[in-house]
Amino acid sequence: MEMKEVTKKDDWDSFLLTLGATFPQSWDWGEVLLSEGKKVRRLALVEGEEILAMAQIMEARLPLGLKYGFCPNGPVLKRGLAKDIRVRIYELLQNWARNAGYIFLRIEPELVPGAVTMKKVRDVNPSTTLVLELIGSQEKYLENLDKKTRYEINQANKRGVSVVVGKNLGIFWSLLKEVSRHDDFLTHPQIHYEKILASASSRQLVAYHGNEPVASAIFWQWGDMLVYLFAAASRRHGHLSASYLIQEKIISLARAEGLRYYDFFGIAPRVITVGTDYDYNRVHRYAGFTKFKLGFGGKIVERPGTHDLVACPWRYRLYNFQRWLRSLI
């Protein structure tokens, strides 16, 4: 087995799409990261002429000159591989990371092979999400919606909220800063949203009340799936229920365009499931919007989450010691 760099978009995406890989491994998402000045590598693990796995890896810098690689929602392995082959793939990635000077490779695999030592860390991308299959008509879908969700959509319409398709970074950023000040959370740098909106794979919806923008959301299309990435809604106009109407409109648009899935991209992980109820972690950082998303229906999809594949044990211990010291300050 050997590792090769992939330089053609079609070669990269065609393999990933056949396996149902998620958008953070897509070529266009890598282009967004590159446009932000990040270093990105696209690696294929090959046996003869057969591609067994792919990994899009972003380099991240740490204090004291340390660095690591991050493979979001990856690596992506071919289905049905024997356990020893899967283990070999992770060993090759571990060796590659070591040779690249990384102290670890942060990965988010579909399955964690038991024979490879990995350390579970705080999730970067959501380990649990909600995926809606866009079958049937929009009318039938709305009829079967959660009662509260349907009510809020109707209220938004009655209160004169309108939703427009169109990219406008200024509107989104203004709303996001308002929300971040109110809820006291950190956003990505503005350039991150700018580069996403510059991609043909992205979309934006803006909700207006009269001429005033009151909510907005950014989405990403990958294959036959549309993904809900970011949203912001004015707290001063929360009574308008604009965020509910944005979701109804984007689901309707995706359905009309023949897309098959809509991914809400992140809900709080389960605590326990009783019957048909989904009982989630109420203190998780996604808890605040989980009930909102669940109201639109869909299938809950779970992954193992984020893990570190350690390439240099002693430096990894130093890295964790630094983090522990900072936590005391």
**In DSSP terms, which residues pair with 225 in a beta bridge?**
222, 261
Same domain for 180 and 289? yes
When divided into structural domains, the chain yields a total of: 2
pLDDT over 90 at 203, yes or no: yes
Same domain for 185 and 84? no
Same domain for 166 and 38? no
Q: Could you tell me if 8 and 1 are in contact, meaning their C-beta atoms sit under 8 angstroms apart?
A: no
Q: Which domain holds residue 186?
A: 128-302
What pLDDT, on the 0 to 100 scale, is given for residue 254?
A: 98
Give the DSSP H or E segment for 70. strand 67-71
Quickly list DSSP for 131-163: EEE--S-HHHHHHTS-HHHHHHHHHHHHTTEEE
Amino acid at 179: V
Task: CATH number of the domain at 198, please.
Answer: 3.40.630.30
Same domain for 293 and 183? yes
Give the DSSP H or E segment for 102. none
Same domain for 280 and 146? yes
Amino acid at 111: L
Same domain for 107 and 17? yes
Strand residues in 119-265 grouped as ranges (E): 119-120, 128-133, 161-165, 202-209, 212-222, 225-233, 261-263
Same domain for 176 and 261? yes
Identify the residue with better confidence: 59 or 288.
59
| DSSP-H helix ranges across 184-239 | 190-198
Summarised one tens digit per residue, pLDDT across range 76-126 is 999 999 999 999 999 999 999 999 999 999 999 998 877 677 899 999 999
Summarised one tens digit per residue, pLDDT across range 51-62 is 999 999 999 999
**Pairing assessment for the beta strands 2-5 and 50-61 based on DSSP bridges:** unpaired
Summarised one tens digit per residue, pLDDT across range 143-183 is 989 999 999 999 999 999 999 999 999 999 999 999 998 88
What pLDDT, on the 0 to 100 scale, is given for residue 185?
A: 81
Same domain for 142 and 102? no
Same domain for 220 and 186? yes
What pLDDT, on the 0 to 100 scale, is given for residue 273?
A: 60
Same domain for 173 and 158? yes
Same domain for 323 and 274? no
pLDDT over 70 at 329, yes or no: yes
Q: How many whole angstroms separate alpha carbon 231 and alpha carbon 319?
A: 33
Q: What is the pTM (predicted TM-score) of this model?
A: 0.94
Same domain for 263 and 196? yes
What pLDDT, on the 0 to 100 scale, is given for residue 64?
A: 81
Mean pLDDT, rounded, for 278-290: 89
